[in-house]
Amino acid sequence: MSGVLPPRAGVTLVVVVAAALLSSAQTPQRTADAGGFPAPTPDLERGRTVYVLSSCHFCHGVDLTGAQMGATDLMHSPLIAGDQNGNLIGPVVRAGKPNLQTAMPSYPDLTPQEIADLAAYVHYLRRQGRYRELMMDAEEQGDAHAGETYFNANCAACHAKSADLAGVAARYPGAALRARTLRPSDDPAPGGTDRTAAGRLQHGKLLERYTPADVRNVVAFLREPLR
């Protein structure tokens, strides 16, 4: 690795990744360090390394919450929602934001791989945080009609209430339906069939973009009996 990582960082990375892997092999408990919790996969841990060694966490938060010093709230930033593999994040990170009151530094030396790793980690953090945030809204009532409109625009290419989702409300009572809607799979690692991989990707994108009302409405639509 080059770019943002200073000479000792290569060693640090190896040690950190090795420690993370060793730790995960020995115990399911994860121990936080100054850059938050180790990521669940080696790929994401590479991204965490870029995120932390570039000091992103000081302004944007170790888990994207508590942005400070005028930094953008990455948990809700539309730019992050629209990013694919760093295509929007990369140019901002490389150029920095020198005209802010407290400027965001530029990172022109980041390699394309480091940008991709960084972006993957930011999306991972955002999905974790958005899941927590949207689950806290579980008691709210939604508008089933608006949910149907959302479903038809965003979900109907893969799902139908009369087919794969038949009886889904009964299978997932209470907050479980909301949880399943937000995150059909708990496994952040790649794998599975092409279809499940594509589904995971699409659900991840949706999770980054849902408004609280979107989720309330879709859940209300799924709970509504078939007409």
Partner 1 sequence: MMIMTRREFGKLVAAAPLAAGAAQQQRPLYAINGVGIGLETFSFHDLPPAGDPRLIPTIISNMREIGIGECEIMSGHIEPWPTIATGWWVQSRRAPGFQQLRDDARRWRLSVPMSYYTNIRKQFEDAGLRIYLYNVNFNETFTDEERDKTFEAAKALGAAGFSSSTVISEARRLVPFVERHKMFVAMHNHNNLVDPDQFATPQSFETALAMSPYFKATLDIGHFVAGNNDPVAFIKKHHDRTVNIHVRDRKRNNGPNRPFGQGDTPIAEMLRLIRDEKYPIRCYLEYEYGSFRSSVEEVKACLEYCRRVLA
Where does this chain bind partner 1 (CB under 8 A)? 4, 6-8, 12, 16, 33-35, 52-58, 68-70, 96, 98-103, 105-108
Query: 3-class SS at 33?
Result: strand
Question: Smaller CB distance to partner 1: residue 71 or 169?
Answer: 71
Nearest to 175 by CA among 144, 203, 135: 135
Which of 48, 44, 46, 54 minimizes the C-alpha distance to 33?
48
CB of 60 to partner 1, least distance (A): 12
* Least separation in angstroms between CB 195 and partner 1: 38
By beta-carbon proximity to partner 1, the closer residue of 80 and 219 is 80
Whether the CB-CB separation of 136 and 33 falls below 8 Å is answered with no
Closest to partner 1 by CB, 57 or 161: 57
Is the Cβ of residue 8 or residue 145 nearer to partner 1 in the bound state?
Answer: 8
Taking the mean position of all CA atoms in its chain, how far away is CA 178? 17
Least Å distance, CB 71 to partner 1, is 8
Shortest spacing between CB 113 and partner 1, in angstroms: 18
Six-digit token pair at 60? Answer: 């944007």
Question: Cα 175 to chain center, whole Å?
Answer: 20
